[in-house]
Amino acid sequence: MGAQRERADAGHRDSTAAAAEAESLRARAQAVADDAQRLVAAVERGRERVGRASETLLVIGEDVRSTARTVHELSGISDRIGNFAQGIARIARQTHLLALNAAIEAARAEEHGHGFAVVADQVRALAGEAARSAREVVDLITEVRAGIEGAARAMAAGEEKVRDVGAIAGEAQRALEDLHRGVAQVASVIADTAAISRAEAERMATIAQNMSEMAAVSAKSSGGADSAATAMAEQISAMGTLNEASKQLAQLAERLRASITRFSVLDTHGKT
């Protein structure tokens, strides 16, 4: 009877431990499932953020290309203005020569060409002013053209950089989409595993209750003690599966939490 009572007491202690382990397994399963859902949500936020960045880069790229086209058009306009100024300079030089010839002819006509000489001097003065203005316009257009060419080069470089960054953002978005699908699949598997673990925990809780009842019965009946002890041994053996499942679930939870921590760091940097 003493040995049977000891076995009954041991069974009672094991049943209590089994109940506690079952509750721990259920809590771990739920924690892993919750962590998986948080990871899915974090990946989704990252995917949306990269998507918005890609769209913004596309808009910026189009703005840069539009500005580059405008700069190119301005370069053509400045060329035409420069050609026009050079034409004015040529006309001014020719007018100056004509005024000089007119002054020579007026000098030959002596007093009869005096009035004509005055007009020729005025025309020559106007031609000189026109030539100076034309030179100033040419100098200004040269400076403007240099600035436009520099802006065009900067726009081309900016467009290329935006295109490169856009390509990288596109690759990152596709990678995050693949990651999102993979994490969603893992989360689904984890959810199924958690459901199975909860069911196993409930089953082990029932086993623990049965073991407690058998321990109580064995304390009252020596005839039923052997069968109760045998049944408890079977139940205790079944708890080995619970312990192994609990260990595996704990390892899975640890890896998942590490993944969430790494992604949360990236997500925090993305917000700042």
State the pLDDT at residue 217.
63
206/93: higher pLDDT: 93
Contact 115, 143 (CB under 8 A): no
Question: Is the pLDDT at 136 greater than 70, yes or no?
Answer: yes
Number of domains making up the chain: 1
Taken in order 211, 214, 216, 219, the sign of the CA dihedral is negative
In a domain, 270, yes or no: no
Q: Look up the domain containing 106 and give its range.
A: 2-265
Query: Is 12 a domain residue?
Result: yes
> Mean pLDDT over all residues of the chain?
72
User: Is the predicted pLDDT of residue 235 greater than 60, yes or no?
Assistant: no
Average pLDDT over residues 241-262: 58
- CA 78, CA 91: separation in Å to the nearest integer? 20
- What is the CATH number for 190? 1.10.287.950
Q: List the structure tokens of 172.
A: 């990152």
Alpha-carbon distance 55 to 57, whole Å?
5
Determine how many CB atoms are found less than 10 A away from the CB of residue 164: 11
166 pLDDT above the threshold of 80: no
pLDDT tens, residue by residue, 73-83: 887 888 888 88
71 pLDDT above the threshold of 70: yes
Token reading at 113? 């060409």
Per-residue pLDDT at 256: 59
| pLDDT confidence bin for 208, thresholds 50/70/90 | low
pTM flag (> 0.85): no
